[in-house]
Amino acid sequence: MRQVKSKRIMAHIFLIALCFVMVYPVFWWFGAAFKPVSELTSSNIIPLQPTLDNFIYGWTAITNYPFTVFYANTAFLIISVLVTSIISCSLVAFGFARLEFPLKKFWFAIVLTTLMLPNQVTIVPQYVMFDFFGWIDSYLPFIVPHALAGGIGGSFFVFLLVQFIRGIPKELDEAAKMDGCSTFEIYYRIIVPLLGPALVTVSIFCFLWNWDDFFGHMIYIKSIDNYTVGLALKLFVDSQSATPWGQLFAMALLSVVPGTLVFFFTQRYIVDGVATTGLKG
């Protein structure tokens, strides 16, 4: 019994030490955001003379472009993508879950197949197509695919919502038809109000994945006027001059705050939404 207990203690000590090794860079980054220039090369986590200068000067470090502009651009992009994705994915999911049409199972299988395709496989043909349309250096390459139930996570959102809708009794649809409701009225009067938990889950994932989509933003957005927060951070790194690392750390810290807050305050909804959806169908 003592031997088993000692093994557990050793295992916990090992895991705690490993955890510290993993999170040490994050703690150092957090401390570096508050360090003056003279302390940036030190290995200590807690700054000896903490300062807010990195945040004050970093916010306006890019000439003519305070970070207010970049946060506004990001907010506009995220809200547009979020709204269009919720509407389009719920409509497509309603069609697969409730309507009958030719080759329904085949097209649903195609949707599920796209889940296996990494973004890097489709990025080149998408870029060629969007360049032909003249959409480069705009937000259309992000908004339009989400409006068509595509974009980041589109297939996953459709699958999640289909599974949830299948758990809603069809008797509700039949009762609505007897009351004279059309198919579209059944969608927005019956199905959408009951989709609340699943739509919250979709909204959270959509926000987090698009907020972190540095690669996609870098590919399609060219002018500083349209830069998002993630792209603005790379403006601090200049090969022709010294990089203000303290200001870069401070702005990078602020850039992860929205996503971190959304995750910590909504993780219960993520787990509940996915777990509940998994029981449907």
The CATH number of 67-278 is which of 3.50.50.60, 2.40.160.40, 1.10.3720.10, 2.60.40.10? Answer: 1.10.3720.10
pLDDT of residue 280: 46
CA angle 92, 150, 82 (to 5 degrees): 85
Q: 101-110, 205-214, 231-240 — which is least confidently predicted?
A: 231-240
* pLDDT surpassing 70 at residue 193: yes
A 10 A CB-CB count for 41 gives 9
Specify the pLDDT at position 244: 86
Query: How far, in Å, CA of 177 to CA of 89, rounded?
Result: 23
Domain range summary for the chain, segments of one domain joined by +: 67-278
- Is the pLDDT confidence value at 248 over 60? yes
* Mean of all residue pLDDT scores within the chain: 86
Which residue pairs, CB below 8 angstroms and at least 24 apart, start in 96-105? Answer: 96/158, 96/162, 97/161, 97/162, 97/165, 97/166, 98/165, 98/170, 98/173, 98/186, 98/191, 99/183
pLDDT at 85: 93
Model confidence, pTM: 0.85
What confidence category does residue 1 fall into, taking pLDDT thresholds of 50, 70 and 90?
low
d(Cα 4, Cα 8) in Å, to the nearest integer? Answer: 6
Say yes or no to pLDDT of 62 above 70.
yes
Cα–Cα distances (Å) from 50 to 35, 98, 218, 252, 255, in that order, read 5, 59, 33, 17, 20
Confidence of residue 281 (pLDDT cuts 50, 70, 90): very low
Residue type, 208: L
